[in-house]
Amino acid sequence: MNHYKLLTPGPLTTTSSVKEEMLLDRCTWDNDYKIITQKIRAKLLELAGANHEEYTTVLMQGSGTFAVEAVMNSTISKKDKVLIITNGAYGERIVKVAKYIGLAFMEYSVSYNKYPNEEEIRSILKEEQNITHIVMVHCETTTGILNPIEMISKLSKEFEKSLIIDAMSSFGGMEINVPELGIDYLISSANKCIQGVPGFAFVIARLEKLITCEGNSSSLSFDLYDQWKEMEQDGKWRFTSPTHVVAAFSKALDELDEEGGIPARFSRYQSNNRILRERLKKIGFQAYLSDEKQSPIITTFLFPDDCFNFEHFYTFVKKRGYVLYPGKLTNENTFRIGNIGEIYEADIEELCNIIESYMGVVKK
Ligand SMILES: *Cc1c(COP(=O)(O)O)cnc(C)c1O
């Protein structure tokens, strides 16, 4: 049935058993369904290393950006000011969200292949004492850079700021201990490392902070507080929820456990990524990022030469069973390969063989 595998970081390749969960129709207010929602909320807390006395999980209809917008809209009041750290398109999208909402914000941006600088952020926090919140993307899917979450955690603790982390493309694929890192709101979605299908996103929220957010949101649909209040009663969503997607996600969580939890998934992703980079290097593709900044999620490669035609390459690879991802850099010609989802070493080896044969063919 599946004529090609997705090497894109969400939607990604899912198992047949996850997809099969969507063959049943479920009722949003029925107990059977509410139990699924509650199980998901509890399981996500567990994956975050959090307990329900300190943290809660709020599920939100829509794609990942909807949850980012819900957090920005509901947890940052008109009296607050947020520091947005950016080194890629997803960070820049958060800036856009802040502008739409009309939040007071400051953007600290560095180039896409650089880490944000601790001393520079420290001096911003010293100067701009009215900053109340800090937002950063963990794995910037634009390039695949893994941003230093420990550094930002340390600063937000030191300066007592609320910390919001967009861990969309890393949560579930890498260990992130939310309480230890002092994260107040962690955002991720169904169709990334948990390996569900697209349709909702989730926020792991520190209760002590969330309970102060009543009335902040200027939007009913995006009101994270209101969504939490309703869901907290017995697992019923406000408004229609993506029932099929939720059921599939519940299955995906079971399969994460069966695989051996986050450590096992991390090591699969890491070895996929290592093989991919080693082999493509031999074939003549240079990675955009240096090894130490590279996440085990997605890799950006530079075009090997000026004659390289991505469309042609993409079609060649797609015909042979794999879908790649175009680049998202404005100043350099790149493409991306994601290695998350139901993807194993054998897939990566096969992909590299295809790419190798493509390079042989075009060279002639
Ligand atoms: C996928 C992703 C998002 C959300 O994108 P949507 O298209 O709205 O699901 C946000 N941030 C990062 C880092 C992502 O990888």
pLDDT at 363: 63
Tell me which H or E stretch contains 356. Answer: helix 345-363
Measured in residues, the chain has a length of 364
pLDDT at 10: 83
Any atom of ligand 1 within 6 Å of the Cβ of 189: yes
Domain that holds residue 342: 5-9+261-363
| Beta strands per DSSP E along the chain | 5-6, 55-61, 81-86, 104-109, 133-137, 139-140, 145-146, 162-166, 185-189, 200-206, 298-302, 322-323, 325-326, 334-338
- Which residue numbers in the chain have pLDDT < 50? none
* Beta carbons within 8 Å of 248's beta carbon, 6+ residues apart: 14, 18, 19, 21, 22, 190, 196, 197
Which string of b and e fits 184-198 if b means at least 16 CB within 10 Å? bbbbbbbbbbbbbbb
- 99, 183: one domain: yes
- 173, 286: one domain: no
Domain end, chosen from 231, 257, 283, is at 257
- 347, 222: one domain: no
Pocket test for ligand 1, best of 8, 12, 65 (most atoms within 8 A of CB): 65
pLDDT at 2: 58
**Residues 338, 341: Cα–Cα separation, whole Å:** 9
Number of domains in the chain: 2
| Dist. CA 200 → ligand 1 center (Å) | 11
- 201, 320: one domain: no
Domain end, chosen from 257, 275, 307, is at 257
| Dist. CA 146 → ligand 1 center (Å) | 15
- 292, 317: one domain: yes
Q: What is the CATH number of the domain that holds 241?
A: 3.40.640.10
Pocket test for ligand 1, best of 95, 137, 141, 191 (most atoms within 8 A of CB): 141
- 88, 225: one domain: yes
| Dist. CA 17 → ligand 1 center (Å) | 24
Amino acid letter for position 228: W
- 96, 146: one domain: yes
pLDDT at 329: 87
**Residues 9, 206: Cα–Cα separation, whole Å:** 27
Domain end, chosen from 200, 227, 257, is at 257
| Dist. CA 89 → ligand 1 center (Å) | 10
pLDDT at 361: 78
> Per the confidence metrics, is the pTM higher than 0.95?
yes
3-state percent helix, strand, coil for the chain, nearest multiple of 5? 45, 20, 40
Q: What is the CATH number of the domain that holds 332?
A: 3.90.1150.10
Nearest CA to ligand 1 atom 14: 168
- 210, 277: one domain: no
Any atom of ligand 1 within 6 Å of the Cβ of 62: no
| Dist. CA 305 → ligand 1 center (Å) | 30
- 251, 338: one domain: no
- 183, 38: one domain: yes
Between the two ends of the chain, the Cα-to-Cα distance in Å is 34
Any atom of ligand 1 within 6 Å of the Cβ of 168: yes
- 153, 105: one domain: yes
- 91, 227: one domain: yes
